[in-house]
Structure formats: C-alpha cells, structure tokens
Amino acid sequence: MKRKTALVLLILAGLLFAGKSWSAPVKISGKASGYASNFIDLYTLHDFISEEKVKLGTLRFSSDGAFILTADITETNICLADFDGYQGMIYLEPGKSYEIVFPPKRTLTEAQKRNPFVKPEPVWFGIVSPDKNDLNYKIQQFEQEYAKLESKYFDQIFISQTKSLVDTIKLMLDNNFPKTNLSFFEAHKLFRKANLDFALNQGKITEFMETYFNSHKPAYNLAAYAVIFNQVFTNYFSRLNNPEINKEINSANLQKLDEYFQQKLHFNTELSHLVLLKSLNDAYYSKQFTKASILKMLGQVKSPDWNAFEQETARLISTKLVYLTSGTAPPAISLKNLNGQKVNLADYRNAYIYLHFTDPQNTICRQHLDALKSISARYKEKLVIINVIPDGKGFKNESAWPGIFTTTETNIETSYKVKTFPNSFLIGKDGKLLLSPAPNPIDGLDRQIGQLLKSDYIREMQKSGKQAPK
C-alpha cells in the first residue's frame, strides 16, 4: 500500500512540475587583462520584435582582468553583450559553466561611440577548451563553414539564384555536420539553410512556408530563426497588399486578422500571433495605416486567446512605439547643476522647458548656444532652458549662454536616444513632451515657441470672453 501511495505521489509531482519552468544556475568566468577594472552587462532579449533587453548580470573585471558571474536561467537562450563596438554572443544552457574568451580590447573615440550609423560588430565569445559536443562549439563551427560557402558562391546564390547550387551547398553542410541528438543545434542548421532557400524565391513559394514556418512553432530563443523570420515577415501587411486585410487593419479588428492568417494562410496559432505582432510593429511606421488603429490592436492582445508571453510582447512593442512621442511623459533623468545641486523638471510645471543636450566644446553646439541668447531674452518669463552637458568639470560659462547648465549620470543614449549633439526636447506646462525632438536654436526654435505662446494667448482670451487681436 505504501509503495502504491508513493508511486501516486510521484506521478502527481510529475504532473505538477510539467509546464513549469525551473531555473538552474549558469556560471560565466574567465580572464581578460585588457578589460581590467571595467564592467560589461550581459543580457538576453525578451523577444526579437521589441528587442527589449533583459539584464542577466554584470561582468566585473578585477585589476588583473579576472571575472566571474553566476545567474539563473530557465531555458537555453542567446546571451548578448555590447562593448567597444562589439556585440558579443554566446548560447547559455541551464546548469552549465562557461570559461569565455573576449576579443582584443579596442578603444572607440567619442565620435565613433555616438555615430548612429555604425552597428556593433557581432562576435562569438570563444570558450576555453570547448567540448566538441558543446552547443556553442557546434554552432560556431557550422557558422564558419556556412560563411565560407556563402562567400565563395555569393553571386550564384543571391544574384543568379541557382537552385541546383543551393541544393548542393545544403547537401555539403549536411555531410559536414551530420545529424546529432542536439535538438537546438538541429534547429539552428535548419533555419540557417532556410536563408539559402529564401534567396531563391523570397519566401513566396508554399513549399518554403510549409517547410520552415507553417509546420513549426516559433523558436523564440533561436537567433537563426529570428533572422529568417524577419526576412520573410518584415512589412508583411504591405507585402500582402490584400484589400480584405487592409480593411480589418483600418477597422482595428485583430480577431479577424488572426482568423485570416490561420484559416486562409494556414499559419499555426503561435506563428499567426508572432507574425501579427511583427506586422503591427512595422505598420506603425507606415503611412498606409493609422497609428491609432495599430495601437488599438496591440491593446487587444489579451487572454484567453493570447498567452502571457505574447501579451507582454505586445505591451513592450506598444511602449516602444510611443516612446519619446509627443503627449507622453519624458523619461526620468537625474540632473545636477554645476554646484552639485539637484535640478528637477517637476519644479517648472508652469513654464515650457527646453531640455537641450549640448557640448560646449563642439563648434556647432556653441553656435546654437549663441542663438539661444536672443530666444531666451524674448521668452524669458515663459521658457526655462536646461542645458545638459557631457562634463561639467572645468566648464565656465564665459560666453554668458542662457539657461541652467547641468550634468547627468543617466544614460541619455538609452533614455533620450541622444547619440549626437545638439539634441533637444520641449516639455509642455503639463510636464509632458510637447515637441519630441524639438527644433534646435538655429533650426526654427524661435518660430515654434512664438506659435505656441500665440496659441496660449488666444485660448486665454477665449476663456475670458475677450476677442483676441488679429
């Protein structure tokens, strides 16, 4: 009887555990003397549409460059790190340890760091004495061979679009990397080969969609899947150019769109939802559809039809789309004047705030600061100017530029998307962003402020019942 009871409890325990994700520690260590006394954040992405970063931890390098980090993860996922113009990558599996190797340290100039057109160079983190059956070793070896073949036959693949050659390359990859019992690696191989097939038909053939998408649930944590998914489904609403779909988009009917994708295009539920989220994200920036209808549909992503991961993805996309737009609250920023005293945006609620990110050492920024003098004199009782400069040490306002000069420890590249100077925002009397971005001083700021104050004056006259002068 006791044995039977124990067996029942064991089965019940198994049922309870099923469907739950249990975390396990992963350990990352190593030594990189070139990075001594630095620190680098490691992160994963919540999803590959919003690309919301989820911090995993921080590698803190000792004086001799040694580092160690332990973090809990629930599933195999790609881990990323942005540093020195690199984007380091490594797949982490729960319960494993990794002694990783960093690329050579390099120092970027401030101009290079702030150049919005420079993308980080993707690099795989090396692993000390890797096991040849390790997932990262397998993927890195496959990627080296894939890159070699793609480079050698680039014209035939992407220009001539020679199917027989693509089939030959796929066969070569299969021969060089025979089937393993590593399901994650097998999925990586499958979706990397999908890029070769995509070059032939741009994903327009039914067989392609069935092979790589309709018959598979989305691989949310697989970078190879994200790459081919984005190639196939970027601006998907516009690419379909279907009057029936356009009608449902403009009427903000997410349920009908979901039904169309599943019934007419034969997408499985998870694929339909992921394509819809991607398409809504892309359509927001299209002039073909209204932003209001896109945001309304993102707000319709709710249970029971949509799971928790999809709901959170929709929320992150929506937040990202309206981020820094007019009518929203400005991101939090910690400011101190040159005397070390705090400067709070909330203290100036009854005035317009011109939040001006500038660098007095820059020639163009100095020209804009000079132009602010006449603007400040004209609107001094209506406009508060807060200049945020990179470094207040040694700065003296010898040119008598207007406004409060402040510094901040807030990451303005992340919070305000400031990568170049000057960059400005106008905050309204209600504390919300009014002009985002705002014109710079020699690029129309004077005219914009004048129009705003004129509109304010007319409204005040209307409230008091007086006739505003023409």
Residues with Cβ within 8 Å of 381's Cβ and at least 6 positions away in sequence, in order, are none
- Cα 130 from Cα 141, distance rounded (Å): 12
Region 92-103: mean pLDDT is 96
- Percent of the chain predicted with pLDDT > 70: 93
Residue scoring higher pLDDT (144 or 444): 144
- Higher pLDDT, residue 203 or 422: 422
Note the pLDDT tens digit of each residue in 206-237.
Answer: 889 999 999 889 999 999 999 999 999 999 99
Place of tokens 């319709």: 300
pLDDT at 19: 38
Cβ of 40: how many Cβ atoms within 10 Å?
A: 19
pLDDT above 90 coverage of the chain, percent: 79
Residue 273 CA to residue 305 CA, distance in Å, equals 10
Find residue 386's DSSP bridge partners: 355, 404
**Predicted confidence band at 10 (pLDDT cuts at 50, 70, 90)?**
very low
pLDDT digits (tens, 9 = 90+) for 330-344: 999 999 999 999 999
pLDDT band at residue 13 using 50, 70 and 90 as cut-offs: very low
pLDDT of 8 > 90? The answer is no
- Region 270-286: mean pLDDT is 96
Q: What is the DSSP string of 317-380?
A: HHHHHHTT-TTSPPPP--EEETTS-EE-GGGGTTSEEEEEE--TTSHHHHHHHHHHHHHHHHST
Question: What is the assigned CATH class of domain 335-464?
Answer: alpha beta
pTM for the model stands at 0.82
| Peptide linkage before 304 cis (omega within 30 of 0) | yes
Handedness of CA 293, 294, 295, 296 (dihedral sign): positive
CB atoms near residue 193 (< 10 Å): 20
Q: Of residues 186 and 462, which shows the higher confidence score?
A: 186
What is the per-residue pLDDT across 15-74, written as a single tens digit (0 to 9) for each?
333 334 578 999 999 999 999 999 999 999 999 999 999 999 999 999 999 999 999 999
- Greater confidence (455 vs 94) lies with 94
Sketch the domain layout of the chain as residue ranges.
24-129, 130-233, 244-322, 335-464
- Please say whether the beta carbons of 129 and 97 come within 8 A: no
Does 7 or 438 have the greater pLDDT score? 438
- The pLDDT-based confidence of 422 (bands split at 50, 70, 90) is very high
Question: Chain-wide mean pLDDT for the chain?
Answer: 90
CATH for 24-129 (2.60.40, 1.10.20, 3.40.720, 2.40.50): 2.60.40
Instruction: Assign 230 to helix, strand or coil.
Output: helix
pLDDT tens, position by position, 118-171: 788 999 999 999 999 999 999 999 999 999 999 999 999 988 889 999 999 999
Q: Strand 433-435 to strand 126-127: parallel, antiparallel, or no bridges (unpaired)? A: unpaired
pLDDT of residue 229: 97
Q: Average pLDDT of 455-461?
A: 81
Q: What local confidence, expressed as pLDDT, does residue 464 receive?
A: 73
* Contacting residues for 421 by C-beta, under 8 A, at least 6 apart: 357, 358, 359, 362, 364, 365
Q: Cβ–Cβ contacts within 10 Å for residue 462, how many?
A: 11
Q: Is 80 in contact with 44 (CB distance < 8 Å)?
A: yes
Better-scored residue on pLDDT, 349 or 322:
322
Give the mean pLDDT of 182-204. Answer: 92
Q: What pLDDT, on a 0 to 100 scale, did the predictor assign at position 358?
A: 96
What phi and psi values does residue 55 have, to the nearest 5 degrees?
A: -65, 130
The DSSP symbol for 120 reads: P
Distance CA 263, CA 412 (A): 46
Q: Identify the pLDDT of residue 15.
A: 34
Residues 6 or more apart whose CB falls under 8 angstroms from that of 376 comprise 383, 385, 402, 403
What is the structure's pLDDT at 467?
Answer: 57
Average pLDDT over residues 351-356: 95
